[in-house]
Structure 1
């Protein structure tokens, strides 16, 4: 794993849009030098317009503002939204512009799934929260439950170097990757003497040199767990090795709790996840379904000493195709706080999934079905990567339709 652990950070947990948007919009609006923003979804709604205003404020302050959106996740931004940003000097680009067939978006795979912001090289934000009103409770029953972190300290320099390199596009050549990594290491070394505060690492996933970094961090933490593993994940369908690590942890006496969707925004995803329940529960893993609203979280805590918050789900697209970014933290106070927030959800709005006792015939059918679906889904990213060899494009909005 190439991520670099850095001490001396202040990591603040932000929950849902209510906790996230005021902090990030204020930081952007007060920027004086630079704003780097990468997001999967940006909509022209109440939240998107608040971000729009903050970006214009930063540009008016004289800050250089770079915004990278995903072309599939943010496909329909009107000229009335984008042109004022371009006129103000905001450098607005789209990763792999959306392609349509009979009106439907077809290029879903290999998306830029980051949710990152860096302001003046002093403050960074990372997590799973996009810029749309469905991250606010006022949206109603379909409002998403999600998390992000605000970072201050040496780790900000690494995130800044990463986002700056993405100005040229987040699918770089090996030579560009070497330049990016050297820049991240140099920024890390600038404040190496700082020893207090949280120890943290910035971990990315791409389709070049960092294909498995996020999954490897998860697996290392799970294998070293002694008492408790708590994972809350929106789209859970990891590979065999991670599932094996969870089952082994439960069998050696570690309490393993998984919080999954019970009110999904995509029902078919929940149905795929349910194929794993019997396999996990039989090993002693406890599975909880969050039933208040759609769960969009990508967080985990191990032994109150290791935690992660980021954009990466534990499913084939996040672990094998998408560009992802997580912050991993080794800090007891932060880990305990995150655990307590997840446990509050579990106590108030989760139901424990009981192990079903089907008939022998039905049990055999479930076993065959689970085997076929599991292995098909696990090989799906490999098939798609082989078919989609063309590198993705990053285009400047205003120059080419996105």
Structure 2
């Protein structure tokens, strides 16, 4: 794993849809050349229609727009919704589009789970927030608690290069460039972006080819080197043994380890899985806080007031072993202090700490069922390994037509 750290970035924390959507929509509306978006979920709801409207506006005035959604996360976009976009010139790409089977979605694993927006190669957003109304507090008690960041500065070049690298095989196939004897022109490296702030930052991604465990390794490295404090807020917490071991070792050597996990989850299995781990964590001195106001959807962490991460990756088997994910790593005292302060507010006002006394007693029945469930969940990624990897079809919509593209086949042909 090789990280490329860039200095001179300005990174602003955005909490929930109330802070995120106005920034993103305003930035898109001011785009001059291009907008590239990757999102797990895009719904045809008030938020999705706001994005739809701003993309139509910029595409009609000549801005190139590439929008990639996941076939499982965004299954119900209507012909009218898609047609209006493509008629305006938006290139819509759907990762692993599959029809429902008996009314059910069955493409459950290896999802395109990233949430990235890059505008003109100069401004970027990344985090855990999808384009759906349930990220707004006004949507009711099931609204999600989540975080993203707005980024300016040299690290945006990493995100810009990454999203274009992902799209390159798709565009090649769509334009008929994939043929024997084709040679791509050497890439022209754009000039570095000017500094915009004081933060050091790096993009870290996870895929099923070259970077299968980069995000988890970054977490483990930060935990292993922590000296004072670790605060992790994560929606779906069921990491591997090595990450759990690093957390317990950190607590035993005197580091204050705080985990903010779901107390009111949108999926009950998320809490069941996490609670299997509470006894061993709390026994070693880890402070477990269950967030109880509404579903927690965040994927953030702060270590020693210096290092932070914000992104799409949960600490569970799907995110760490199967899905396509992206996080930004940040070294900046000011940013870390702000994120730490917001997480402290959650712990003080909207969480309950799971003390040893509050945990249910470990009866033989609980022990056996927990052990079985633990190994079922932990070995699930290896069982899912028999399924196709990243070489899934992407359905790209250009105008009123669509083309199915196999990214791996395109990459091989380009070579």
Note whether the superposition's TM-score is higher than 0.5.
yes
Secondary structure, aligned partner of 2:220: helix
User: Equivalents in 2 of 1:71, 1:223: separation in Å?
Assistant: 37
User: Equivalents in 1 of 2:360, 2:339: separation in Å?
Assistant: 36
Aligned to 2:74: 74
How far does residue 369 in structure 1 lie from its aligned partner after superposition?
2.8
How far does residue 370 in structure 1 lie from its aligned partner after superposition?
2.7
User: Equivalents in 2 of 1:9, 1:114: separation in Å?
Assistant: 21
How far does residue 2 in structure 1 lie from its aligned partner after superposition?
2.1
User: Equivalents in 2 of 1:168, 1:345: separation in Å?
Assistant: 41
For residues 10 and 195 of structure 1, do their structure 2 counterparts lie closer, same or farther at Cα, with a shift above 3 Å needed? closer
- CA displacement, residues 321-352 of structure 1 (integer Å, 9 cap, x when unaligned): 00000011000100010010111111111001
Aligned to 2:127: 127
For residues 389 and 46 of structure 1, do their structure 2 counterparts lie closer, same or farther at Cα, with a shift above 3 Å needed? closer
How far does residue 272 in structure 1 lie from its aligned partner after superposition?
1.2
CA contact (8 A) 1:161 1:183 kept: no
Aligned to 1:235: 236
User: Equivalents in 2 of 1:152, 1:38: separation in Å?
Assistant: 18
User: Equivalents in 1 of 2:41, 2:169: separation in Å?
Assistant: 17
Aligned to 1:399: 401
Aligned to 1:317: 318
User: Equivalents in 2 of 1:169, 1:84: separation in Å?
Assistant: 25
Aligned to 1:307: 308
User: Equivalents in 2 of 1:271, 1:31: separation in Å?
Assistant: 44
Q: TM-score, normalised by structure 1?
A: 0.92
CA contact (8 A) 1:28 1:35 kept: yes
Secondary structure, aligned partner of 2:401: coil
Aligned to 1:212: 213
- CA displacement, residues 341-387 of structure 1 (integer Å, 9 cap, x when unaligned): 1111111110011225766xx43433333332222211111110123
User: Is the aligned partner of 1:34 residue 2:15?
Assistant: no
- CA displacement, residues 276-322 of structure 1 (integer Å, 9 cap, x when unaligned): 11111011000001110000000000000000000000000000000
For residues 121 and 2 of structure 1, do their structure 2 counterparts lie closer, same or farther at Cα, with a shift above 3 Å needed? same
Q: TM-score, normalised by structure 2?
A: 0.89
How far does residue 388 in structure 1 lie from its aligned partner after superposition?
3.2
Secondary structure, aligned partner of 1:380: helix
User: Equivalents in 1 of 2:168, 2:83: separation in Å?
Assistant: 21
User: Equivalents in 1 of 2:221, 2:99: separation in Å?
Assistant: 38
Task: Answer with 195-204 or 155-164: which moved more.
Answer: 195-204
How far does residue 390 in structure 1 lie from its aligned partner after superposition?
7.7
User: Equivalents in 2 of 1:99, 1:378: separation in Å?
Assistant: 29
How far does residue 46 in structure 1 lie from its aligned partner after superposition?
0.4
Aligned to 1:284: 285
Secondary structure, aligned partner of 2:19: helix
- CA displacement, residues 44-76 of structure 1 (integer Å, 9 cap, x when unaligned): 110001101111122133211100000110011
- CA displacement, residues 121-173 of structure 1 (integer Å, 9 cap, x when unaligned): 11000000000000001110000000000000001111011111222469x9x
How far does residue 30 in structure 1 lie from its aligned partner after superposition?
1.1
CA contact (8 A) 1:222 1:245 kept: yes
User: Alignment RMSD, CA only?
Assistant: 2.3
How far does residue 196 in structure 1 lie from its aligned partner after superposition?
5.9
List alignment gaps of at least 5 residues for structure 1: 173-178
Secondary structure, aligned partner of 1:355: coil
The alignment of Structure 1 onto Structure 2 pairs a total of residues equal to 390
Aligned to 2:409: none
Aligned to 2:192: 190
Secondary structure, aligned partner of 1:190: coil
- CA displacement, residues 206-243 of structure 1 (integer Å, 9 cap, x when unaligned): 00010000001100000000000000000000000000
For residues 342 and 167 of structure 1, do their structure 2 counterparts lie closer, same or farther at Cα, with a shift above 3 Å needed? same
List alignment gaps of at least 5 residues for structure 2: 173-182, 405-415
User: Equivalents in 1 of 2:55, 2:104: separation in Å?
Assistant: 30
